[in-house]
């Protein structure tokens, strides 16, 4: 079976949206990526770090989904990474209120031996040097390395971020971050500039406006499913990336054509993630739910037009 190696945060999140707020709940980039990828019944592992305050039930939740956690370090006397965010009324933009790195500040990831030959590596949002260290531990060259990042690292570790971007195949980034990284307003020009930094494939996420996949002159666009209710967009980007990566691992096909399907799967899974607070919706998702929504996606985007 192909393997997926995921590195990213396991976190406590506190979230405020126009619909309500939560105290510290389960969050983190690796959590959302793992939950999405587990839908494909693949061999996936998370490399991360938590403090002694991280509940065992959160770890059980992930391992019960078949995710290997042997690469998760537990620092008994340490505190888990904590993030607090507040969404604006449009639900598309948010402010970070608190970022406490805690145990993440001194994290030296160790990739379990079994996953040093993983075909696909998903570098979730983390310090770029941590992402780089994971890549350096791979014993065989992965078929695909996907990287997700955010403005926090552009502000705090740009030079290191550019180093890791040089070494990857696919970058997933949101529209504002693509603009910040390149200084370009046009996303087409921004994607071209990002190609120049290294990645052959650039995925630009536009929240409720879908996602764009660029590969040189090829472009593919997937809308986001129009939803009646969006409760909490936290983790949608990670869920998208986890769905994308999981689909690639499952199908073992890294062609542009197959990546289009991966984008559709990513968008479909992300559409569930936003329906409830935190990981709630992703914890209880059946393959029937997913198939139904894929069908909705198909109907949304399919049309027959006669070309003259």
Whether the Cβ atoms of residue 81 and residue 28 lie closer than 8 Å to each other: yes
Given 27, 34, 242, 266, the residue binding ligand AMP (CB under 6 A): 27
Q: What is the number of other CB atoms lying within 10 angstroms of the CB of residue 72?
A: 21
Q: Rule CB under 6 A: is residue 266 a binding residue for ligand AMP? A: no
Given 102, 182, 234, 267, the residue binding ligand AMP (CB under 6 A): 234
Structure tokens at 51: 């403090």
User: 14-28 in b/e burial notation, b at 16+ Cβ within 10 A?
Assistant: bbbbeeeebeebbbb
The one segment of 9-17, 40-48, 105-113, 254-262 that binds ligand AMP by CB under 6 A: 9-17
Q: What is the number of other CB atoms lying within 10 angstroms of the CB of residue 288?
A: 8
Structure tokens at 23: 């105290």
Q: Which of 43, 238, 253, 289 is catalytic?
A: 238
The one segment of 6-14, 59-67, 108-116, 223-231 that binds ligand AMP by CB under 6 A: 6-14
* Residue among 30 and 259 whose Cβ is closer to ligand AMP: 30
To ligand AMP, the closest distance from the beta carbon of 266 in angstroms equals: 11
Given 5, 13, 264, 266, the residue binding ligand AMP (CB under 6 A): 13
Length of the chain: 308
Q: Rule CB under 6 A: is residue 11 a binding residue for ligand AMP? A: yes
Non-local CB neighbours of 210 within 8 Å, separated by 6+ positions: 221, 222, 223, 224, 267
Site string for ligand AMP, 141-180 (x = CB under 6 A): -----------x----------------------------
To ligand AMP, the closest distance from the beta carbon of 96 in angstroms equals: 6
CA 209 to each of CA 3, 51, 221: distance values in angstroms, whole numbers, following the listed order: 31, 36, 10
Structure tokens at 168: 């990857």
Total of chain residues touching ligand AMP, rule CB under 6 A = 16
Non-local CB neighbours of 260 within 8 Å, separated by 6+ positions: 213, 220, 222
Given 187, 238, 269, 271, the residue binding ligand AMP (CB under 6 A): 238
To ligand AMP, the closest distance from the beta carbon of 235 in angstroms equals: 5
Among 195, 304, 300, 211, which residue's Cα sits nearest to residue 260? 211
* Residue among 88 and 298 whose Cβ is closer to ligand AMP: 88
The one segment of 48-56, 190-198, 230-238, 258-266 that binds ligand AMP by CB under 6 A: 230-238
Q: Rule CB under 6 A: is residue 213 a binding residue for ligand AMP? A: no
To ligand AMP, the closest distance from the beta carbon of 118 in angstroms equals: 21
For 48-90, the DSSP string reads EEEETTS-HHHHHHHHHTT-EEEEEEEETTS---EEEEEE-TT
148 is an active site residue: no
Name the DSSP class of 166: T
- Chain residues 78-137 in contact with ligand AMP, contact rule CB under 6 A: 83, 99, 125-126
Given the rule CB under 6 A, which residues bind ligand AMP? Answer: 9, 11, 13, 27-29, 83, 99, 125-126, 152, 234-238
Residues designated catalytic: 238
């Amino acid at each position: 079976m192909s393997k997926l190696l995921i590195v990213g945060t396991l976190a406590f999140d506190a979230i405020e949206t126009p619909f309500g707020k939560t105290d510290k709940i389960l969050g983190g980039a690796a959590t959302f990526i793992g939950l999405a990828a587990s839908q494909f019944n693949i061999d996936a592992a998370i490399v991360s770090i938590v403090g002694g305050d991280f509940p065992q039930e959160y770890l059980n939740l992930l391992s019960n989904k078949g995710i290997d956690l042997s690469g998760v370090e537990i620092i008994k006397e340490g505190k888990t990474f904590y993030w607090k965010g507040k969404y604006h009324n449009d639900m598309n933009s948010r402010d970070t209120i608190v970022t406490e790195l805690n145990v993440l500040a001194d994290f030296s990831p160790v990739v379990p031996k079994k996953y040093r030959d993983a075909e696909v590596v998903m570098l979730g949002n983390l310090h770029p040097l941590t992402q780089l260290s994971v890549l350096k531990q791979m014993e065989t060259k992965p078929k695909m390395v996907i990287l997700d990042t955010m403005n926090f690292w552009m502000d705090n570790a740009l030079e290191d971020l550019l180093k890791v971007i040089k070494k990857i195949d696919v970058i997933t980034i949101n529209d504002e971050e693509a603009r910040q990284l390149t200084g370009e307003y046009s996303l087409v020009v921004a994607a071209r500039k990002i190609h120049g930094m290294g990645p052959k494939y650039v995925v630009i996420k536009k929240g409720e406006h879908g996602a764009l996949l660029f590969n040189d002159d090829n472009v593919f666009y997937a809308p986001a499913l129009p939803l009646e209710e969006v409760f909490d967009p936290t983790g949608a980007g990670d869920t998208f990336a986890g769905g994308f990566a999981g689909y690639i691992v499952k199908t073992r096909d890294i062609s542009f054509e197959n990546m289009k399907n991966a984008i559709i799967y990513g968008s479909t899974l992300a559409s569930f993630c936003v329906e409830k607070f935190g990981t709630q919706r992703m914890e209880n998702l059946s393959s029937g739910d997913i198939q139904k929504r894929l069908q909705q996606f198909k109907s949304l985007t399919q049309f027959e037009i006669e070309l003259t």
